[in-house]
Amino acid sequence: MKKKIKAFFKKNSNLSIKSKVLAKRLRINDLDQYQQMKKILHELTDEGFLLRKGKRFIFNYSGDGKITGKLQIVDDGNYGFVIPGNSNSKDVFISERNLGTAFNDDIVEVILLAKKKGKNVEGEITKIISRGREEIVGTLKKTKSFYFVEPDDPKIHRDIYISAEHVNKAKNGDKVVVSDIDWSSNQLNPEGKVKEVLGKTGSYDTEISALARELNLNYKFPAKVLNEAEKISEEIPAEEINERLDLREEVIITIDPDDAKDFDDAVSVKKLDNGNYQVGIHIADVSHYVSKNKAIFDEAFNRCTSIYFVGKVIPMLPERLSNTVCSLVPNKDRLTYSVIAELTKRGKVVNYSIRKSVINSKKRFTYKEVQKILDDGTGDYIEELNLLNRIAKTLKQNRSRKGSINFITPEVEFKLDDKGVPIDISVKQITESNNLVEELMLLANQITAKHIVSKKDKTKHVPFVYRVHDYPEPEKLQEFAAFVKSLGHSFDANTANQSKQLQHLLDQVKDTSEESLINEVAIRSMAKAVYSTFNIGHYGLGFGHYTHFTSPIRRFPDLVVHDILFNYETKNGRQVYDENRLNEICERASDQERKAVTAERISVKLKQMEYLRNHIGEEFEGVISGITNFGMFIELSDILAEGLVKLRDMDDDFYFHDEKNYALLGQRNGKKYRLGDKVRVQIIRIDEEKRGIDFLLLND
Give the per-residue pLDDT at 63: 46
Q: How far apart are CA 158 and CA 160, in angstroms?
A: 6
Band of residue 185 on the pLDDT scale cut at 50, 70, 90: confident
If we measure between CA atoms, which residue out of 357, 351, 394, 393 comes closest to residue 281?
357
Average pLDDT over residues 258-262: 89
pLDDT tens digits along 204-243: 999 999 999 988 888 899 999 999 999 999 999 999 999 9
Q: How deeply is 389 buried, as exposed, middle or buried, from its count of CB atoms within 10 A (0-12, 13-18, 19+)?
A: buried
Q: What is the pLDDT of residue 75?
A: 75
Contact 592, 681 (CB under 8 A): no
Of 683, 697, 686, nearest to 609 by C-alpha is 686
- Are 214 and 206 spatial neighbours (Cβ–Cβ below 8 Å)? no
Encode pLDDT of 282-304 as tens digits: 999 999 999 888 999 999 999 99
pLDDT of residue 591: 93
CB neighbours of residue 349 within 10 Å: 15
User: Angle of helix 515-525 relative to helix 474-486, nearest 10 degrees?
Assistant: 160
Other CB atoms within 10 A of residue 361 CB: 26
Residue 53 has pLDDT above 80, yes or no: no
pLDDT (tens digit, 9 = 90+) per residue, 656-665?
998 888 889 9
Which is higher by pLDDT, 168 or 45? 168
Sheet-wide strand order for 56-59: 16-18, 56-59, 50-53
What pTM was computed for the model?
0.85
For the chain, what is the mean pLDDT? 90
Confidence class of residue 681 from pLDDT cuts 50, 70 and 90?
Answer: very high
Q: How confident is the model at residue 47 (pLDDT cuts 50, 70, 90)?
A: low
Which of 38, 3, 32, 6 is closest to 19 using CA atoms?
38
Residue 593: strand, helix, or coil? helix
614: pLDDT confidence band, cut at 50, 70 and 90?
A: very high
Q: Does residue 416 carry a pLDDT above 70? A: yes
Three-state SS at 277: strand
Q: Mind listing the pLDDT tens digit for each residue in 522-568? A: 998 999 999 999 999 999 999 999 999 999 999 999 999 999 999 88
Q: How far apart are CA 639 and CA 681, in angstroms?
A: 14
Q: Tell me the pLDDT band of 396, cut-offs 50, 70 and 90.
A: very high
pLDDT (mean) for 263-271: 97
Q: What is the pLDDT of residue 88?
A: 47
Q: Categorize the per-residue pLDDT at 380 as very low, low, confident or very high, splitting at 50, 70 and 90.
A: very high
Q: Residue 116: which pLDDT band, with cuts at 50, 70 and 90?
A: low
The pLDDT value recorded for residue 672 is 92
